[in-house]
Amino acid sequence: MSSDTSAHSQSQGIAPSKPPFWRNPRVHALFYQVVLLIGVFVFFGYIFHNTVVNLENQGITTGFGFLDQEAGFGIIQSLIAYTPASTYARTFAVGLLNTVLVSVVGIFLATIVGLIVGLARLSKNWLISRLAAVYIETFRNIPLLLQILFWYFAVLQALPSPRQSFSLGEVAFLNIRGIYLPEPVFESGFGVVFAAIALAVVIVAALAKWAHRRRMQTGQSFHTVWTSLAVLIALPGLAFAVMGAPLGWSLPSLQGFNFTGGITVIPELAALVIALTIYTASSIAEIVRSGILSVSHGQTEAASSLGLSTGKITRLVVLPQAMRVVIPPLTSQYLNLMKNSSLATAIGYPDLVNVFAGTTLNQTGQAVVIIAMTMSVYLTISLLISFFMNWYNRRSAFVEQ
Amino acid sequence: MHEFEKHPDLPPPTSQMGVVGWLRKNLFSSIPNSIMTVIALYLLYLTIPAMVEWALINADWVGSSREACSSDGACWVFIYARINQFLYGFYPVEEQWRVNLGAAIFVVSLLLLVIRGVPGKAWIGGFTLLIFPVIAFFLFSGGIFGLEKISTSNWGGLMLTLILSTVGIVAALPFGILLALGRRSDMPIVRALCVSYIELWRGVPLITVLFMASVMLPLFLPSGVNFDKLLRALVGIALFQSAYVAEVVRGGLQAIAKGQSEAAASLGLNYRKTMALIVLPQALKVVIPGLVVTFIELFKDTTLVSIISLFDLLGIVQSALTDPSWLGFAIEGYVFAGLLYWVFCFGMSRYSMHLERRFETGHKGS
C-alpha cells in the first residue's frame, strides 16, 4: 500500500515537500522525550534533596547498617530459628518466610475451593449451581479486610479456652490459642521411604513421556493416570511396610493451661488463610467457569463424534483449551492473593509488612530503606511470576493457521 | 374409503412437565445429582433456620444500652445506638446536614447521568467530575461562608469511605488516561517511563503504598510543609489507582480498530486531535464497565486505611467493637458493615454488567 503511493508520486515527478524541521514529527518526539526526561530527573532530584535534608534534621543516618543490629522483640511464629537477640536482617527473613508460607497455603487451598465452586456453578443441578452463585456473589462483594477481621475477632477469638477445647477424636484440638494437630515424627529408616517416593516420581515422569511418545507415533493410548497412581502408592507403601512402619505421631496434649506437642497453627495464620482462601476462591470460581464456557460446544461434539469417552473429552479436548483462557487471570489472582496476604498486619500475623515495615520501622525509624526493601520484595515476586506466566502463555498459545 | 381422522395430540407425560418435570430435570436427573441435592437441602436446613432465628426472630431491636440485649439472638440495638457514628464518623451532629446536602447533590447528579434520555450529559458529567468535588470540599470542611470549620480528623464512617473511593477514582482517571496513552506511544522513553510506573504500582500491595504515603511523603517534601493524614492517604490511593485505571483504559484503546486513527490521520488531524476527538471518545465508552469494576475494587480497598488509623466504615465499626460497654457484639458489627459494603459492591457490579450489554455494539476491535 505505502510502496504503491510512493511509486505513484514518483511517477508524477512531484517529490513531497519536506516540512520545516520544527514541524517534523521526529523532532517533536525527541523534544518531548528530552523535556519529559529532564522533568523526571528534576522531580526525583528534588525529592532526593528534601529527603536527605529531612533525615539530617531528624538525625537519622540512612543505610543498611541497621540490619546488623539486635532486634530485641519476639515474633509469635517463625519458620527459622529466631530469638529477640537476632538481628533485624533476621526479622526480614522471618517475615518474608511467613508471607511465603501464607501465600503458598492460600494459593493451594483457593485453587481447590475455586475449582470446586466453579464446576458447581456449571452443574446441571439447579440447587448446587444456585448455591455456588450465592457463594461467589457474597464473598466477592465484601472487602477482604472485613472478612479477615471477622474470622479472627468474631470466630477464632470467640473459641473456648484450652481447657474447654473442641476436640476431634482426641488427636486434634481447637481453642482460642489456635489449632493443635498431630505432628508426624520420622524415625530412622524413613529415609528409605523418601527415596521410594522420589523413585516413584521419576518412574511416573518417564512413563508419561514414554506414553506420550507412543501415542504420537502409533496412536495407541496408555492408562497413564491409573498406572502412575498405582506406582505412586505401591512403591512408597512397600518401602514403608518393609522398614517396619518407621513413623510415629506426636499428639498434642493438655499440660496445665496449654497444649504441648504436635503442630500448632496460630489463630492469626488460620484466620488469614481461611479469609484469603474464601475470598480468592470466589474470583477463581468465576475464572474457571468462564474458561470452561469459552470452549465452544462444537469441540465437545466433534470429540464425541470421534468416539472419545466423556472423561477423555474433558481431559484431552476441553481442559487444554480452557486452560489457555484460564491461566492469565488465574495468575493475576495468585499475585493478588500474595499481595493481599500483607493485610496480615491488621490481625498481627507476623508477615513481612507486620514485622519489618511495622515493628522494625517503628524501632529504627529507617523509613526509606525499609519501605523500599518491602516494596521491592513484592515487586520482585510479582515480576518473576508474571515473566514465568508470560513464558508459559507463549508456549501454550494457540497456534493459528 | 375410510377417512382417517387426526387424533388430538396427547399431553406430554406428567413426569416431563410442571413442577415434577422441573424437579426431575433440575434436581434429580441422576443418582449422584439426587444425592447432591439431598445433601445440599440438609445443609440448608441446618443453616438457614438457625440464621433467620438469630438475625430476626430472637434478635433484640429496641433499647439504648446493652441491658436491652437479653435474648440469645442478634443485638441490633448496638448498631442502632452507633449508627450515627458509622455513617458520619465524629462529624458534629448539628453540622451533618452539610454532609447530607453534599450526598444529595451527588446522588442527583449521578441519577441524571445514569438515566437514559436526560439531555446535556456532558455538562452534568463535567459538573460531577470537576465542580462538585470543590463544592463538596468547602461544604464538608467549612471555614468559609460562615460555615464552621471541621477538621478532616472528624470525618469518618461511610462518609469517609465514599469520599476516599470517589476522590481516588476521579483523581486517578486523568492520570491513568495519560499513562495509557503513554504506554501505547511510539516514543521509547515515554513508553518505558509509563510501563515502569504502571508495573511498579501494580506489583506492590496497597498497604505498603499507604505506609509509604503516611511515613515517607512527609520526608519527600521540604521541611516545614506538612499536610493532613487524609490527604496523604488520598495521594497514595490516587497514585496506586492510576496504574490500574491505565491498564483498563489501555484495553479500551486496543479495542479501537487501527483504521480509526488512520482515517483521522488521512483527514489531516494531528495526534492530539486524533486522540481527543476520535480514539478516546470511543475507547472510554468501551471501558466504562471496566472502570466500574476498578471502582468496586477501590471501594473495597479503602478499608485498608483503617490500618493507618483513619476511621472509615470498617475502621469505625472495629473501634466500636472495643468499646468496653458494648463488648461481645463483633458478629453484629461485621454483619452490618459487610451488608453495607455488599449492597454497594453488588449494585455496582450489576450496573457494570448492564452497561456491558448495552454497549455491546458488535464491532469490537478487529
> Domain ranges in chain B?
85-155, 168-359
Closest Cα to residue A186, out of A264, A251, A240, A248?
A248
Kindly list the residues from chain A whose CB atom is less than 8 angstroms away from the CB atom of residue B208.
342, 353, 357, 371, 374-375, 378
In whole angstroms, what is the distance from residue B276 CA to residue B257 CA?
16
Q: Can you tell me the ipTM of this complex?
A: 0.87
Q: B222 CB near a chain A CB, below 8 Å?
A: yes
User: A126 to chain B: nearest residue by CA?
Assistant: B26
Q: How far apart (Å, rounded) are the C-alpha atoms in residues B68 and B61?
A: 9
Report angle CA A179, A183, A189 to the nearest 5 degrees. 170
For A200-231, how does the pLDDT look when each residue is reduced to its tens digit (9 = 90+)?
899 999 988 888 888 888 877 777 778 888 88
Chain B residue numbers touching A342 (CB-CB < 8 A): 205, 207-208
Whether the CB of B353 is below 8 Å from some CB of chain A: the reply is no
What pLDDT is stored for residue A9 in this prediction? 45
Does residue A50 belong to the interface with chain B, where contact is any CB pair within 8 Å?
Answer: yes
The mean pLDDT value for A359-387 works out to: 87
Name the residue with higher pLDDT: B85 or B1.
B85
Q: Please state the rounded mean pLDDT for residues A221-246.
A: 81
Contacting residues for B154 by C-beta, under 8 A, at least 6 apart: B89, B90, B91, B92
Could you give the CA distance from residue A239 to residue A234 in angstroms, rounded to a whole number?
A: 9
Q: Determine the average pLDDT of the residues in A225-240.
A: 84
For residue B314, list chain A residues with Cβ-Cβ distance below 8 A. 143, 145-146, 149
Digit-coded pLDDT (tens) for A137-178: 999 999 999 999 999 988 888 887 777 777 777 777 888 888
β-pairing verdict for A258-260 and A178-181: unpaired
Average of per-residue pLDDT across B109-122: 82
Dihedral of alpha carbons A136, A137, A143, A147, sign = negative
Check CB contact under 8 Å for B221 and A153.
no
User: A88-97, pLDDT tens digit by residue?
Assistant: 888 899 999 9
In this prediction, residue B362 carries a pLDDT of: 57
Residue among A47, A131, A340 minimizing CB distance to B40: A131
Q: What's the gap in Å between the CA of A21 and the closest CA on chain B?
A: 16
Residue of A152, A338, A375 best to disrupt the B interface, most CBs of B under 10 A: A375
Position A390 pLDDT exceeds 50: yes
Contact: A143, B36; criterion CB under 8 Å: no
Mean pLDDT taken over chain A:
84
pLDDT at B330 over 60: yes
Q: Tens digit of pLDDT for each residue in A116-130?
A: 999 899 888 888 899
Q: pLDDT tens for residues A288-331?
A: 999 988 888 899 899 999 998 888 888 888 888 888 888 888 88
Q: Under an 8 A CB cutoff, do B207 and A342 touch?
A: yes
- Would you place residue A399 in the very low, low, confident or very high pLDDT band (cuts 50, 70, 90)? low
Amino acid at B44: L
pLDDT at residue number A401: 41
> Any chain B CB within 8 A of the CB of A368?
yes
**The pLDDT of residue A172:** 79
| Cα–Cα distance list, A67 to A78, A96, A243, A251 (Å) | 18, 15, 47, 39
pLDDT at B260 over 80: yes
pLDDT over threshold 90, residue B237: yes
pLDDT tens digits for range B55-85: 887 777 777 777 777 777 778 888 887 888 8
The reported pLDDT for the residue numbered A398 is: 58
Question: What pLDDT digit, counting tens, does each position of A57-81 carry?
Answer: 877 777 787 888 887 788 878 778 8
Q: Is B220 on the interface with A (CB under 8 A)?
A: yes
Provide the chain B residues 298-317 that lie in CB contact (below 8 A) with chain A.
300-301, 303-304, 306-307, 314
Q: Measured between CB atoms, does B260 come within 8 Å of chain A?
A: no
Residues of A in contact with B200 (CB under 8 A): 379
The pLDDT tens digits for B347-366 are 999 988 888 888 776 554 43
Nearest-CA distance A361 → chain B (Å): 10
* Average pLDDT value for residue range A351-369: 86
Identify the DSSP state of A15: P
Give me the amino acid identity at B106: F
From B8, B171, B158, select the one nearest B82 (Cα to Cα).
Answer: B158
- Answer yes or no: is pLDDT of A285 > 60: yes
Beta strand pairing status for A263-265 and A178-181? antiparallel
Q: Is A128 on the interface with B (CB under 8 A)?
A: yes
The cell for B342 is 455488599
Quick one: average pLDDT of A252-261? 74
Contacting residues of A for B38, CB less than 8 Å apart: none
Contact call for residues A33 and A26 (beta carbons, < 8 A): no
Radius of gyration for the alpha carbons in chain B, expressed in angstroms and rounded: 28
Cα B189 from Cα A30, distance rounded (Å): 9
Q: Are A193 and A246 in contact (CB under 8 A)?
A: yes
pLDDT of residue A84: 82
CB distance B212–A371 less than 8 Å? yes
Pick the residue with more confidence: B366 or A132? Answer: A132
Per-residue pLDDT at A397: 64
The stretches of A306-343 forming alpha helices (DSSP H) are 310-312, 319-340
pLDDT band at A6 (very low <50, low <70, confident <90, very high): very low
**Closest residue to B186, CB basis, from A29, A346, A371:** A29
B318 Cβ under 8 Å from any chain A Cβ: yes
In this structure, of A155-159, A184-188, B281-285, the range with the lowest mean pLDDT score is A184-188
Taking the CA atoms of A73, A77, A83 and A88 in sequence, report the sign of the dihedral they define. negative
Pairwise CB contact (< 8 Å): B321 & A153: yes
Q: Using the predicted structure, report yes or no on whether residue A25 has a pLDDT greater than 90.
A: no
Neighbours of A265 (CB within 10 A): 16
Model confidence band, residue B241 (pLDDT cutoffs 50, 70, 90): very high
Contacts of B37 in chain A (CB under 8 A): 125, 127-128
Flag whether pLDDT at B225 surpasses 80. Answer: no
A379: nearest CB among B29, B203, B341: B203
Closest CA to B298 of B253, B338, B239: B239
pLDDT score for A33: 87
The domain B168-359 having CATH identifier 1.10.3720.10: the answer here is yes
Residue A3: which pLDDT band, with cuts at 50, 70 and 90?
A: very low
Predicted confidence band of residue B24 (pLDDT cuts 50, 70, 90): confident
Question: Taking phi first (over 0 means left), then psi (-120 to 50 degrees means alpha), and beta for anything else, what does residue B25 get?
Answer: alpha
The strand pair at A253-255 and A247-250 is best described as: unpaired
Q: Do A153 and B338 touch (CB under 8 A)?
A: no
